[in-house]
């Protein structure tokens, strides 16, 4: 993509309305624009990141055996009256009346709808277990939408739902999602700590939140310092994690048997990027979702639900990975891998070399954002640092005359002078 034609409205100044660094950077780097309180448009650069995150989530759900589908954003009120949550959900639910005076709502979550679909279409225990998921916009009329996409009113969620014949099966499904979540977040360069949590409005007996440590997090978590070491290895040792103490503030128990000694007990603020629930028959009983068991008798199905805040993750990743100059994208979610900077647009040699690099890299399947604008070098470097692409490939007249280009690693700041061939090999290898 050539920057001269790309829609990338960056801001020099910090927007006054943004209180936390990720929100400031998302506005400054031209990722999003607010359309109403807690409701955002995703501009091309932000949209690319959102889609990358979504794709990692999708691949790990598919690998775990979950099946993707797509439910609508608008749901009928009747389903929520069946489960009993229509009144409970209160003002957070955006209620809509259609032209026939039917009560509808913009879905804040999908337990009711998926339970109805399951009930109407699955008749035998032989069809279990199943895990279904979709990635769809949700609406929650939060009292205090804030921190940009972190606590929005409209937000993108991946929500999965598991269906099993008994508790053992449901526990297995829960563990499958628990593992898939750790892998998912690790692929985004995040260490997520699974903490025991309250199940709130979703309900149920067992629940874990996946928390990213960050000063700006809205939650407080208690955890064993050993989690920090597990994160550092880059490998996720799930068995080791399961035994370690980690709890949300409201679940913190100073008498828990696996509580670490005081010097290893940490407390920190966290951002909740995922939340999983086992709630048994909370929805299947009132909604009468049963299948025929082995003896032909109806059995009420056991369920769980599993959410990931896809749009929140964009903000959470920036909170975890930035410096004073801007965003530092982990390669797996970066909108482009390389920012190609032509330091002297209009100069015959620089244009020819840059155009050539752009073509060769693009043909090798590398995503390149090519700054071919007629701007000062300082402006170009600032833009690149702000938008945080993993590599910057800089083509300037002096270097070219000496036969080299410069490759900068955004994370380490390391710069190397390389021949064009070596730079290409480095980026495509």
User: Footprint of ligand P5A on this chain (CB under 6 A)?
Assistant: 109, 140, 142, 151-152, 155, 157, 159, 202, 272-275, 277, 305-307, 309, 311-312
CA distance 228 to 220: 16
Unique residue bearing structure tokens 């300037």? 396
The tokens of 164 are what? 């099993």
Residue nearest to ligand P5A (CB): 309
CB of residue 102 to ligand P5A, shortest distance in Å:
24
Contact, 186 vs 158, CB < 8 A? no
CB of residue 379 to ligand P5A, shortest distance in Å:
33
Contact, 290 vs 125, CB < 8 A? no
CB of residue 192 to ligand P5A, shortest distance in Å:
11
Report the residue number, 203 or 260, with the smaller CB distance to ligand P5A: 203
CB of residue 263 to ligand P5A, shortest distance in Å:
30
Contact, 368 vs 361, CB < 8 A? yes
Report the residue number, 151 or 380, with the smaller CB distance to ligand P5A: 151
Contact, 225 vs 266, CB < 8 A? yes
Report the residue number, 39 or 265, with the smaller CB distance to ligand P5A: 39
CA distance 14 to 28: 7
Report the residue number, 311 or 342, with the smaller CB distance to ligand P5A: 311
Report the residue number, 109 or 383, with the smaller CB distance to ligand P5A: 109
Give the residue from 146, 147, 267 showing the smallest Cα distance to 211: 267
Report the residue number, 57 or 357, with the smaller CB distance to ligand P5A: 57
Report the residue number, 270 or 390, with the smaller CB distance to ligand P5A: 270
CB of residue 144 to ligand P5A, shortest distance in Å:
10
CA distance 64 to 181: 10
Report the residue number, 157 or 214, with the smaller CB distance to ligand P5A: 157
Give the residue from 165, 192, 400, 409 showing the smallest Cα distance to 309: 192
CB of residue 294 to ligand P5A, shortest distance in Å:
30
Q: How far apart are the first and last CA of the chain?
A: 21
Report the residue number, 73 or 409, with the smaller CB distance to ligand P5A: 73
CB of residue 198 to ligand P5A, shortest distance in Å:
10
Cis amide prior to 237 (ω within 30 degrees): no
Sign of CA dihedral 63, 67, 72, 75: negative
Measured CA distances, 210 to 54, 189, 272, 352 (Å): 17, 14, 6, 49
CA distance 418 to 421: 8
Q: Are strands 302-309 and 154-164 parallel, antiparallel or unpaired?
A: antiparallel
Give the residue from 56, 14, 112, 2 showing the smallest Cα distance to 317: 56
CB of residue 272 to ligand P5A, shortest distance in Å:
5
CB of residue 85 to ligand P5A, shortest distance in Å:
11
């Amino acid at each position: 993509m050539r920057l001269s034609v790309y829609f990338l409205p960056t801001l020099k100044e910090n927007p006054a309305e943004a209180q936390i660094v990720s929100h400031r950077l998302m506005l400054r780097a031209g990722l999003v624009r607010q359309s109403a309180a807690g409701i955002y448009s995703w501009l091309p650069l932000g949209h690319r990141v959102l889609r990358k995150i979504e794709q990692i989530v999708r691949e790990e759900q598919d690998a775990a055996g979950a099946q993707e589908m797509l439910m609508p954003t608008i749901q009928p009120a009747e389903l929520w009256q069946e489960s009993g949550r229509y009144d409970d959900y209160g003002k957070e639910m955006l209620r809509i009346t259609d032209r026939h005076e039917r009560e509808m709502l913009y879905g804040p979550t999908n337990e009711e709808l998926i339970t109805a679909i399951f009930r109407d279409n699955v008749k035998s225990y032989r069809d279990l277990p199943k895990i279904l998921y979709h990635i769809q916009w949700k609406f929650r009329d939060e009292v205090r939408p804030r921190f940009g996409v972190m606590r929005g009113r409209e937000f993108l969620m991946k929500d999965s739902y598991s269906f099993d014949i008994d508790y053992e099966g449901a526990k297995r499904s829960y563990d499958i999602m628990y593992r898939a979540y750790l892998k998912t977040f690790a692929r985004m360069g995040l260490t997520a700590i699974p903490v025991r949590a309250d199940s709130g409005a979703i309900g149920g007996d067992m629940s874990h939140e996946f928390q990213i440590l960050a000063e700006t997090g809205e939650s407080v978590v208690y955890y064993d310092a050993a989690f920090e070491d597990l994160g550092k290895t880059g490998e996720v040792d799930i068995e080791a994690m399961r035994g370690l103490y980690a709890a949300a503030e409201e679940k913190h128990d100073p008498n828990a048997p696996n509580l670490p000694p005081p010097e290893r007990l940490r407390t920190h603020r966290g951002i909740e990027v995922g939340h999983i629930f086992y709630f048994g028959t909370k929805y299947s009983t009132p909604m009468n979702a049963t299948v025929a068991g082995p003896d032909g008798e109806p059995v009420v199905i056991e369920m769980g639900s599993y959410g990931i805040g896809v749009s929140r993750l964009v903000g959470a990743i920036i909170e975890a990975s930035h410096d004073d100059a801007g965003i530092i994208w982990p390669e797996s979610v970066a909108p482009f891998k390389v920012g190609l900077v032509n330091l002297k647009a209009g100069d015959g040699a620089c244009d020819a070399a840059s155009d050539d690099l752009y073509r060769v890299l693009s043909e090798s399947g590398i995503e390149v954002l090519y700054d071919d604008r007629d701007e000062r070098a300082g402006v170009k470097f600032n833009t690149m640092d702000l938008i945080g692409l993993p590599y910057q490939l800089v083509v300037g007249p002096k270097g070219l005359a000496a036969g080299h280009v410069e490759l900068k690693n955004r994370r380490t700041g390391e710069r190397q002078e390389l021949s064009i061939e070596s730079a290409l090999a480095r980026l495509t290898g």
